Structures are given as structure tokens and as C-alpha cells.
């Protein structure tokens, strides 16, 4: 296999996914299955997400809870049923946070990230935790660039950028202190958005530099 000729990047535009869902050209159930099929086929090689057993079943169960909470289609929030990736320095209820380290997860746990909670309120489902370099700065993770497995995806938000580039999810959270959104976005050929510092709360995120950390995201 010639890696430079392998192309597993597939379209998963957030705006198009929202449009297809709202126009009933796609159901949240089908979206979950399509994304999980893709992830199960390719992520053993790309390694964008941290491994999880029963991911598909969990997502479908959480979708059922969303239907219960928002029974009327015309009152559902904008991200209803859309799975997103979350860099593993964000605390998420029900998930361990290890920040790309080998430390016991118990010593790193904290209250759920404000950014994650806001996205959940907007209807998003958590596809899973994405790989990060250790504490968003040190030793890189095992993630490959989906365009070429022999190339780096950039860091430190490597898993989030690679997940979006590979079409595993249409939106993924990342952080930037120096270049941790702009660099992997450039390397992986996706949009990386880093708003002004403080525009998105860093509460519930393991800090690298409290005076310079930014919250942002990736999409196609």
C-alpha cells in the first residue's frame, strides 16, 4: 500500500449535516451509524479518538434521551443529535480525563467543561475523547494525518483535527496556547477557529497557561 496515495478523508460538513437533518434527508440514528461505521473501519490506523467499548450503543441511548427531552421537532436545538469530538483535556461527565498522560485518571478529574455543557445544551452528543499531546504540550500522541498516515497531524489538538478531517465527526473541540488549533488545522486541511482569549470559557479544561489558553474548534 502506498500511503501517499491513500485518501480516507470524507466529507462531513457541519452546515450540510445540520441542513440534511433539518430537511429530513438524514436522521440522527443514521448519522450516528454512519460515523461509527467510518470510525470503526479506519480509526485503528488514524487513532484520532481514544478507544471506547460500546460507543455506538451509548450514542443511541443518549439520542433516545434527547428525544425525550425535546419531543417537538420544531423546538429542538441546532445541534440536536450531532456527535462531536472533545480533546482529552476537557472534563466531560461520564468520561475519564487523562490529558494524553499515563497518570491515574482519578487525580485529573474535575467538573464538566463549560464549553462541553453549552454544546450539550445545544443538542450535541459526545462522540468521544480525542487524542492530545501530553498535557497539550509534551509527548505527542499516536494520531496519524488522515491524508497520509506517514505524516503528523500537528498538535496539540491532533486527534480533534484528524477526526474532523477523516469525517468521524463534523465538529471537534480543541485548545490553543501557541499554535495547537491553527497548526493541526493547517496540516489536516480543515477549518480551525480560535476566538479571542476568554470568548469561550476555559472552566473545566486542564490548563497549560491560564493567561494564554484559548478554546476553539475544528470543522470542515
Question: What positions carry a catalytic annotation?
Answer: 87, 156, 180
Asked if residues 51 and 131 have their Cβ atoms less than 8 Å apart, the reply is no
Pairing of strands 172-176, 83-87: parallel
* Closest-CA residue to 151 (of 188, 192, 189): 188
Residue 109 CB coordination number (10 Å) = 12
**b/e sequence 124-154, b meaning 16+ C-beta within 10 Å:** bbbbbbbbbbbbbbeebbebbbbbbbeebbb
Stated as kind and residue range, the H or E segment containing 210 is none
Stated as kind and residue range, the H or E segment containing 125 is strand 125-130
* Closest-CA residue to 189 (of 149, 144, 219): 219
Amino acid at each position: 500500500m502506498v500511503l501517499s496515495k491513500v485518501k480516507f478523508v470524507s466529507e462531513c460538513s457541519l452546515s450540510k449535516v445540520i441542513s440534511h437533518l433539518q430537511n429530513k434527508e438524514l436522521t440522527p440514528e443514521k448519522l450516528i451509524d454512519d460515523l461509527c461505521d467510518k470510525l470503526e473501519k479506519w480509526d485503528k490506523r488514524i487513532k484520532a479518538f481514544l478507544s471506547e467499548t460500546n460507543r455506538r450503543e451509548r450514542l443511541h441511548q443518549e439520542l433516545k434521551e434527547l428525544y425525550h427531552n425535546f419531543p417537538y421537532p420544531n423546538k429542538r436545538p441546532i445541534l440536536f443529535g450531532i456527535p462531536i469530538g472533545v480533546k482529552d483535556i476537557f472534563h466531560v461527565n461520564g468520561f475519564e480525563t487523562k490529558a494524553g498522560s499515563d497518570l491515574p485518571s482519578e487525580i485529573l478529574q474535575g467538573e464538566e467543561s463549560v464549553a462541553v455543557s453549552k454544546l450539550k445544551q445545544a443538542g450535541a452528543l459526545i462522540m468521544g475523547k480525542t487524542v492530545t499531546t501530553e498535557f497539550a504540550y509534551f509527548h505527542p500522541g499516536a494520531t496519524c494525518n488522515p491524508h497520509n498516515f506517514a505524516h503528523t497531524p500537528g498538535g496539540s489538538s491532533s486527534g480533534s483535527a484528524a477526526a474532523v478531517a477523516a469525517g468521524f465527526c463534523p465538529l471537534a473541540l480543541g485548545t490553543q496556547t501557541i499554535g495547537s488549533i491553527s497548526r493541526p488545522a493547517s496540516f489536516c486541511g480543515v477549518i480551525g477557529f480560535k476566538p479571542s482569549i476568554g470568548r469561550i470559557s476555559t472552566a473545566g479544561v486542564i490548563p497549560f497557561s491560564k493567561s494564554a489558553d484559548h478554546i476553539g474548534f475544528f470543522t470542515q
